[in-house]
Chain A
């Protein structure tokens, strides 16, 4: 429908559009425009609302740890740190498991089981985060704090595993280990794992049969096939899936709210209680925020959105650039 005249274009077929088509196009354009308005509007609105805060606090907004609007101290350093820490823990825990599971499903799972397994993983993606939150709070937490203590006990010499409590104390100091970034990270890992796994699995599935068989013909074991063919082929999927999981982990709200004890400070001791993420801060503070505080929350939301956006863009880029996509057309 573009009016630009290009050489060697085929003859234009439609002299004029039927009225129904005109309306159709109008409506479709309108729909597209509306969606653009709504979705784009959010981004613009966020940026617009965040502007006063960013102007007022400038760079200090990114370096200040405290979130005390009543003391005029507002900064996302601590929340950003918490967000990244929890997401990192989630990815660190879920990546190996997701990768191994994806490989299992594509390579080693019994034939009859494969479909079920794929469905199960997809199902895990669909489980609402509140369910994971409940599970984490009521089942996992009372139990995993002992693991936390164990880690502190043996790896306390690594600074991040240190805890401000004597692991050999007479009475088990559970409260120090509860509500920590680590536990939140484990729960988020549960949510991220199926996402990453599903993407990886899809990409692994597309590994060209010819290359697999070539490797087998050369006498490699199944692990050899994986190492030499599947993994290189699926590298894009691995990275992309992990990044997608990371994007989800960064934005997770309710499970984190349920588990961590809010602490607006950079807390390097991941096993120790107290952390905060941007999304959980919004969930906790929106109700008491008016005027400039609400703007500050929007600014924090914008920061989170931009980070998630970048991560997702990178993921999409990696996946589309890798051989994974192109390789399927043998």
Chain B
């Protein structure tokens, strides 16, 4: 039995007191700690995971300035809803509020909370994939829009499908099941992707929806997965990236912002644009594509600054990455404390200007200046934002032109795609056109070549050197090309005239753009702008000579390895042996035991 004492009672009381005190201290201590440093107040937002990488970077950048921005991600639909529920100070979404859902009547509105849209960054929705050939990641996948749509609607289910092979100019991928990965949550990335499919490949998309969902999907934030058993769903971009890069996900492909693939160092598919080139969602290509984005320019419209992307999808510039889009911040335009408004405004003026410099390295694309300017006008509507206008020209935005704010410098200096990234050419190996492939790159004319002396990166050299129009133009084209590229290398350009000798020399030299000059002579005919005729040849030649021919043999080797067709025999034999061993072990024991017992019985 217990001795009733008052001591334990006091202990109990002390315990409770201590707990209460802890809480009280926490409550009192916190505001003073928060308020001490600056006039800024912490702001909190949720929403898109598409642009989360950029946002997280900016948030870390402004942290030393005393701004405290917290971002929870969660998907665009979540962000819009949280904003409507007044749970957050701002939200990020790729698509604007959709109003009323025609089917359910469920609201997708801000529930009366006043807001404004503001573009924050551009980027490309990339198709990240994992295909392993001989244990190595295959990095040069090219896909046309039609193929992508068919992959994500279950029409194409194997990587060795003829259509994929055709997209890759005859290079056959291993026999592997395609695992399409989609987002399970309400996602702006899904919305962008389905908008694209719904406008560009409506027939395939609609027939898929009708057959599996029994209705038209149109554009949706929720990928329809009903009756589509091959698909895997993941919630959030980083989970999708994680799934695609998982050890067991060989053959997976999914859609995320380019930055996620860059972060994981995983390849993304080059997507075919309207002019027949397969392009990556680089900052340049995205910027080029978005020059055709139709932006709502009426400031009084609630959709002010939102995008219509049909022009982007169909842009004929060969550098276009078709699935490019802007991401938007939803700003509150009332009921926000001044200190929060201040924080939000200062944060915005950071990322609209200086922050945009970080966009490209992360895998996004900076905003053009006209949008930056418009965005500042939206920021001004946030209560508490400083009234002083920011001088856009001193902004530090890398797209700055100086004369024409509507022009995006990035789009002008964007390098031309590799010649071998065209339909029926290539494919390029690790971002370089196959060396020594004599015929390949003569087709593209680089009309913009003089434009980019500033960045004569590897890819550019090619574009330039090849010169403009095939037939006659060669002379001039090569002239410029050599001038820039290779002061050292082989004098190449000169070789163009005829000399085959130079041609070979440069071929081995592997200099960036060098291959270009040589090629013409080898064929002897500058004609082959009709590249299609040559591709099959090139494909073969490359495979035979180049180092890249490793792909096919290994592919088939793994298949052979894995094939257990002949293994049945082995297995049966093994089983027989096992049974025999067991019998040898057991029978004598049992028999002797039996005999023993019999004898004992007698």
Contact = CB atoms under 8 A, between A and B. Distances in A.
Interface of A: 65-66, 68-72, 141-142, 145, 164-165, 168-179, 261-265, 273-274, 284-285, 287-293
A179 B251 CA distance: 16
A66 B215 CA distance: 14
Nearest to B103: A72
A288 B104 contact: no
Contacts of B232: 175, 179, 261, 273-274
B103 A171 contact: no
Contacts of A174: 247-250
Interface string B284-300: 00000000000000000
A69 B220 CA distance: 12
Contact of A263 (B46, B225, B249): B225
Contact of A261 (B84, B186, B234, B564): B234
B31 to A, nearest CB: 28
B184 A284 contact: yes
A42 to B, nearest CB: 21
Contact of B106 (A274, A285, A292): A292
A69 B106 contact: yes
Interface stretch (B72-80, B429-437, B524-532, B545-553): B72-80
14 contacts: A70-B221, A164-B230, A171-B558, A172-B248, A173-B251, A175-B248, A178-B249, A261-B233, A261-B243, A274-B229, A284-B184, A288-B78, A291-B106, A291-B107
B104 A169 contact: no
B185 A168 contact: no
A290 B106 contact: yes
B249 A66 contact: no
Nearest to A165: B177
Contact of B248 (A169, A177, A274): A177
A170 B213 contact: no
Contacts of A273: 232
Nearest to B236: A284
B247 A142 contact: yes
A68 B225 CA distance: 10
B562 A71 contact: no
List the 9 closest A-B pairs by CB distance, nearest first. Answer: A174-B248, A170-B562, A287-B78, A288-B186, A288-B77, A262-B184, A170-B559, A175-B179, A261-B232
Contacts of A175: 179, 232, 246, 248-252
Interface of B: 46, 74-75, 77-78, 81-82, 84-85, 101, 103-104, 106-108, 174-177, 179, 184-186, 213, 215, 220-222, 224-227, 229-230, 232-235, 243, 246-252, 558-559, 561-564
B218 to A, nearest CB: 10
A250 to B, nearest CB: 22
A290 B106 CA distance: 8
A69 B227 CA distance: 17
B213 A71 contact: yes
Contacts, number: 117
Contacts of A177: 248
A179 B246 CA distance: 12
B352 to A, nearest CB: 27
A63 to B, nearest CB: 15
Contacts of B46: 287
> Which of B101, B104, B186, B246 is most buried by chain A, counting CB atoms within 10 A of its CB?
B104
Contacts of A285: 185
Given A70-B103, A262-B233, A171 B215 contact: no
Contact of A71 (B74, B103, B176, B229): B103
A52 B523 CA distance: 76
A287 B104 CA distance: 18
B247 A68 contact: no
Contact of B75 (A68, A170, A287): A287
Contacts of B561: 170
A182 to B, nearest CB: 14
Nearest to B562: A170
B250 A171 contact: yes
Contact of B225 (A72, A179, A264, A291): A264
A66 B226 contact: yes
B373 to A, nearest CB: 33
Nearest to A257: B235
Contact of A173 (B77, B101, B177, B234): B177
Contacts of A263: 225, 233
Contacts of A66: 226
Contacts of B250: 171-172, 174-175
B235 A284 contact: yes
Given A264-B225, A287-B74, A69 B104 contact: yes
A262 B101 CA distance: 23
Contacts of A170: 175, 558-559, 561-563
Contacts of B251: 171, 173, 175
Contacts of A171: 174-176, 250-251, 558-559, 562
A82 B106 CA distance: 27
A288 B75 contact: yes
Contacts of B215: 71
B104 A72 contact: yes
Given A71-B104, A287-B185, A288-B78, 11 more contacts: A65-B226, A70-B104, A71-B103, A145-B248, A171-B558, A176-B177, A178-B246, A265-B226, A287-B77, A288-B77, A289-B81
Contacts of B103: 70-72
Nearest to B234: A261
Contacts of B227: 265
Contacts of B230: 164
A301 B220 CA distance: 26
A178 B226 contact: no
Nearest to B84: A290
Contacts of A292: 104, 106
A68 B563 CA distance: 41
Contacts of B85: 290
Contacts of A274: 229, 232-233
B207 to A, nearest CB: 17
Contact of A293 (B84, B106, B564): B106
A70 B176 contact: no
Nearest to A164: B229
A82 to B, nearest CB: 13
Contacts of B177: 165, 169, 173, 176
B220 A70 contact: yes
B132 to A, nearest CB: 8
Contact of B222 (A70, A142, A169): A70
Contacts of A179: 232
A174 B177 CA distance: 11
A287 B81 contact: yes
A265 B564 CA distance: 33
A141 B247 CA distance: 10
B15 to A, nearest CB: 18
Nearest to A170: B562
A68 B246 CA distance: 28
A173 B563 CA distance: 13
Given A70-B106, A168-B564, A262-B233, A178 B248 contact: yes
A272 to B, nearest CB: 8
B255 to A, nearest CB: 16
Nearest to A273: B232
> Which of A171, A177, A265 is most buried by chain B, counting CB atoms within 10 A of its CB?
A171
A284 B185 contact: yes
B81 A290 contact: yes
A263 B175 CA distance: 26
B558 to A, nearest CB: 6
Contacts of A72: 103-104
A211 to B, nearest CB: 30
> Which of A68, A145, A287, A293 is most buried by chain B, counting CB atoms within 10 A of its CB?
A287
B229 to A, nearest CB: 6
B147 to A, nearest CB: 20
A183 B546 CA distance: 45
